[in-house]
């Protein structure tokens, strides 16, 4: 019954913004750390951002200063606000959950969503 569902993807021009949502069900979000990951065509999946159960956040160097991760445990939702989007941000974006207290490498995440597509082009 554990499920994560991403939404909010779409096509935007460079410099535009999108807000991705990760709605979770089947577990108590407050006890989980949530990460956002992305996979561009021809590339391996990479970490984008993470927010721990204690609200500690991390960002990859490529998105730091442009993306903001947040969580609303009462709504069972984690958000990724993406501003000043660049063509290199084009990818499928996934959220994932782990019961650990810290942000972790990809293999440590237990549950994954199906992904939402983000395309940034002129």
119 — pLDDT class (breaks 50, 70, 90): very high
Q: Please give the full DSSP string across the chain, using - where no structure is assigned.
A: --EEEEE--EEE-TT--EEEEEEEESS-GGG-EEEEEEE-TTS--EEEEEE-TT--EEE-TTTTTTEEEEEEGGGTEEEEEE-S--GGG-EEEEEEEESSSS---GGG--EE---EEEEE--
Whether residue 105 is predicted with pLDDT greater than 90 in this model: the reply is no
- The percent of residues above 70 in pLDDT, for the chain, comes to 100
Cβ burial of 44 (10 Å; 0-12, 13-18, 19+) is: exposed
Tokens (6 digits) for 24? 């979770």
């Amino acid at each position: 019954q554990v499920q994560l569902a991403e939404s909010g993807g779409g096509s935007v021009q460079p410099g535009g913004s999108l807000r991705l949502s990760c709605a979770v069900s089947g577990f108590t979000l407050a006890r989980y750390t949530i990460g956002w990951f992305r996979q561009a065509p021809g590339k391996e999946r990479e970490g984008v951002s993470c927010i721990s159960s204690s609200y500690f956040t991390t960002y990859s160097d490529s998105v730091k200063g442009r993306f903001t991760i947040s969580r609303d445990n009462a709504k069972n939702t984690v958000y990724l606000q993406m501003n000043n989007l660049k063509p290199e941000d084009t990818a499928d974006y996934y959220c994932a959950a782990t019961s650990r207290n810290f942000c972790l490498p990809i293999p440590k995440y237990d549950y994954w969503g199906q992904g939402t597509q983000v395309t940034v082009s002129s």
